[in-house]
């Protein structure tokens, strides 16, 4: 490193001497001798200067580019936050429009965790026994297009485990979910809606002679005090009726993907 510095200093000193001699009589006589020596040096110096200028320009552009990338990332993060807040506010506004159920009050909860195992999907919500939650309560949501034969609410799942500040919620499609239900237009007895493979619900123990139509709505029955009657589980997509069997069953598909909800209402029965 020191040797290179000395070389540069010698080159600069030589250029200064050459410049001063060019204004003297002696300089004119020796100029022809030393000019061939310093000409390559001058060319080299100009090349180095040009290279340094390009280097600083590239460095400046690199810093400017990094600054712009940082600004773009910051603006993208702000936009994502704003969009998430807008969606959250929209969901909360929609919840305020949901119908109320006579004999039940409602508690808004937020899904804060998720667990998927062989039985299906369960969610962790941010309310527990301190907020009056107990096992078996219904978690509901609403969506456009719910039929007139229902309460206007979708049964998303039920509370199956309660802590003091958080609770566990099983979706109706979970294998561990069992809810008393019926065909919305049916006149026969009650059936049992059981979750299947985290995808759909099977309505079991339908009377063998009962008419079951594809597209017919399935709702909760009035035999469970913890779950109001008329909550929509979904619509019939297939019927399983075997010859000689005592009962038939039907596959029921929820009206919307149940995983899309972030905020739900828990319905709590109130004393008359």
d(CA 193, CA 182): 8
What is the per-residue pLDDT across 168-192, written as a single tens digit (0 to 9) for each?
999 999 988 999 999 988 766 689 9
- Nearest CA among 166, 165, 216, 170 for reference residue 191: 216
Work out the burial of residue 183: count CB atoms within 10 Å of its CB; fewer than 13 is exposed, 13-18 middle, 19 or more buried.
Answer: buried
d(CA 254, CA 150): 13
d(CA 162, CA 199): 25
What is the per-residue pLDDT across 44-80, written as a single tens digit (0 to 9) for each?
666 666 776 776 778 777 877 877 777 777 766 666 6
d(CA 132, CA 107): 9
Beta carbons within 8 Å of 33's beta carbon, 6+ residues apart = none
Higher-confidence position of 208 and 62? 208
In this prediction, residue 149 has a pLDDT band, given cuts at 50, 70 and 90, of very low
Q: pTM of the prediction?
A: 0.65
């Amino acid at each position: 490193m020191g040797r290179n510095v000395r070389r540069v200093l010698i080159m600069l000193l030589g250029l200064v001497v050459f410049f001063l001699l060019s204004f003297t009589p002696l300089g004119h006589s020796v100029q022809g001798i030393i000019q061939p020596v310093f000409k390559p040096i001058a060319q080299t110096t100009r090349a180095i200067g040009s290279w340094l200028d390009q280097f600083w320009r590239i460095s400046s552009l690199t810093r400017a580019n990094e600054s712009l990338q940082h600004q773009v990332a910051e603006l993208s993060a702000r936009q994502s936050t704003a969009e998430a807040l807008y969606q959250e506010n929209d969901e909360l506004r929609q919840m305020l429009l949901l119908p109320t159920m006579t004999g039940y009050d409602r508690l808004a909860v937020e899904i804060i965790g998720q667990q998927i195992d062989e039985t299906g999907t369960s969610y962790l919500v941010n309310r527990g026994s301190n907020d009056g939650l107990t096992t078996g309560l219904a978690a509901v949501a609403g969506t456009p297009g719910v039929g007139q034969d229902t309460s206007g609410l979708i049964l998303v799942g039920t509370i199956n485990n309660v802590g003091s500040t958080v609770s566990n919620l099983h979706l109706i499609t979970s294998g561990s979910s069992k809810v008393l239900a019926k065909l919305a237009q049916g006149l026969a007895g009650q059936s049992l809606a059981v979750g299947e493979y985290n995808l759909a619900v099977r309505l079991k123990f339908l009377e063998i002679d009962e008419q079951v139509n594809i597209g017919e709505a399935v709702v909760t029955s009035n035999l469970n005090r913890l779950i109001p009657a008329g909550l929509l589980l979904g619509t019939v997509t297939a019927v399983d009726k075997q010859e000689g069997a005592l009962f038939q069953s039907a596959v029921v598909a929820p009206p919307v993907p149940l995983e899309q909800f972030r905020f739900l209402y828990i319905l709590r029965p109130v004393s008359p």
